[in-house]
Amino acid sequence: MKKDKSIAYILLIFLGGFIGLHRFYLGKVATGILYLLTGGLLGIGWLYDLFTLGRQVDDYNIRFAYRNRIA
C-alpha cells in the first residue's frame, strides 16, 4: 500500500518519533525496534529523520510501485 508523507510526519513529530512509529509505518521493522529501544537513537535518529523522511516515503512508494508492476 502506498504511504502518505503527511501521515509519516505526523507519526514522527506528534505520535512517537522517539519510539519509531514512523519507521514501522514505512515497513522498517528493524530500525523501528532500534528506535523503540534507544529513544530514537538518543534523538539523533529522530533529527535525521526529520530532514529525510520525505525521501524515505518516496523511496518506499517507488519500491511499492515496482513490486506491484512486476507481480
For residue range 40-52, list pLDDT tens digits in order. 999 999 999 999 9
pLDDT at 4 over 90: yes
Judge residue 44's burial from the number of C-beta atoms within 10 Å of its C-beta, 0-12 exposed, 13-18 middle, 19 or more buried: exposed
Q: Which domain holds residue 57?
A: 5-70
How many domains does the chain contain in total? 1
pLDDT of 12: 96
How far is it, in rounded angstroms, from Cα 62 to Cα 37?
A: 29
Helix (H, G, I), strand (E, B) or coil at 47: helix
Task: For the chain, give the mean pLDDT.
Answer: 94
- How many residues in total does the chain contain? 71
pLDDT at 69: 85
Kindly list the distances between the CA atom of residue 8 and the CA atoms of 4, 41, 59, 65, in Å, as whole numbers in the listed order: 6, 18, 13, 18
Mean pLDDT value of segment 20-37? 96
What pLDDT does residue 71 have?
58
